[in-house]
């Protein structure tokens, strides 16, 4: 099959800068979904993701005995469970309804970080080649953000961050991909996105002056509500999150760094959430 269309897939944990990254990709000429999730006090600039996909993905997780905040590994055949529940067909319909025949699209729902076994084949079937961007943010800041928004403990927030980060890294290993740091994006979005294009092996469309100005305006300092040091080794989850964050930072420079991948495999093997 010739994959003539392009789908940029923004992966990563909630509160990791996925919305800002998705908006930049959208302004670069990649179609956003038709049914956008409404902005909230927790994200005044908007989420830039589809309510339809978020609902389907939560239903898929529920079918597997999970929810968005689950920290345990998905067990069993997720694809088979989703197929028996009619949810793979729901993903196919949503892709058509939300994007029509658009040749270049951006898709973001953090839950997809755990559901690549479904989304990869569905997108390929629809003629899209997938360009994964893995959004990365200091796990301490992510945990603090979800603690404020959802009332979780910092430990639970770190556990969820670990699950999403480990799952999306493993699911995209061996593919052209790029890890995009939230701080790097805020400090120098042009350089960050240029590096991402080089790592993906395909240039971004040319930007109009209006789009550049809108991106500059969208990346405001108030997008970042928490500025914290990286996790310490004072707790087991802090140690694992710190090791994972360091390894993911190495993947920013080389998305296929073997030593970093070995570290992530080791963390994944010993991570036992509760």
Handedness of CA 29, 33, 34, 35 (dihedral sign): negative
Checking if the pLDDT of 50 tops 70, the result is yes
Question: With contact defined as beta carbons under 8 Å apart, do 157 and 142 qualify?
Answer: yes
Tens digits of residue pLDDT in 122-150? 999 999 999 999 999 999 999 999 999 99
Checking if the pLDDT of 98 tops 60, the result is yes
Q: What is the DSSP letter of 9?
A: E
Checking if the pLDDT of 116 tops 60, the result is yes
Residue 82: phi and psi, rounded to 5, are: -70, -40
Q: What is the pLDDT of residue 231?
A: 75
Q: Which long-range contacts (CB under 8 A, 24 or more apart) does 100-103 make?
A: 102/5, 102/31, 103/4, 103/5, 103/6
Q: What is the pLDDT of residue 64?
A: 95
Tokens of 139: 């796990």
Question: With contact defined as beta carbons under 8 Å apart, do 54 and 127 qualify?
Answer: no
Residue 36: phi and psi, rounded to 5, are: -80, 140
What's the average model confidence in pLDDT over 186-207?
95
Question: With contact defined as beta carbons under 8 Å apart, do 118 and 167 qualify?
Answer: no
Other Cβ atoms closer than 10 A to 24: 27
């Amino acid at each position: 099959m010739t994959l003539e269309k392009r789908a940029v897939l923004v992966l990563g944990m909630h509160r990791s800068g996925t919305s800002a990254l998705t908006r930049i990709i959208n302004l670069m000429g990649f179609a956003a979904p038709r049914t956008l999730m409404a902005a909230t006090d927790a994200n005044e600039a908007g989420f830039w993701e589809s309510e339809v996909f978020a609902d389907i993905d939560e239903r898929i997780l529920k079918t597997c005995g999970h929810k968005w905040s689950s920290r345990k590994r998905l067990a069993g055949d997720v694809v088979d469970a989703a197929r028996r529940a009619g949810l793979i067909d729901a993903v196919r319909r949503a892709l058509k309804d939300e994007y029509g025949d658009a040749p270049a699209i951006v898709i973001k729902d953090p839950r997809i970080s755990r559901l690549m076994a479904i989304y990869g084949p569905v997108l390929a079937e629809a003629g899209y080649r997938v360009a994964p961007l893995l959004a990365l943010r200091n796990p301490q800041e992510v945990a603090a953000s979800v603690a404020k928004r959802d009332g979780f403990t910092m430990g639970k927030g770190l556990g969820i961050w670990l699950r999403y980060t480990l799952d999306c890294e493993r699911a995209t290993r061996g593919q052209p991909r790029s890890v995009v740091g939230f701080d790097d994006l805020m400090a120098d979005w042009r350089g960050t996105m240029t590096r991402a294009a080089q790592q993906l092996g395909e240039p971004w469309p040319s930007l109009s002056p209006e789009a550049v100005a809108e991106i500059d305006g969208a990346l405001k300092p108030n997008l970042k509500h928490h500025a914290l040091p990286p996790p310490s080794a004072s707790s087991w989850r802090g140690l694992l999150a710190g090791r994972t964050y360091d390894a993911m930072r190495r993947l920013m420079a080389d998305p296929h760094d073997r030593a970093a991948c070995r570290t992530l495999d080791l963390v994944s093997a010993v991570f036992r959430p509760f």
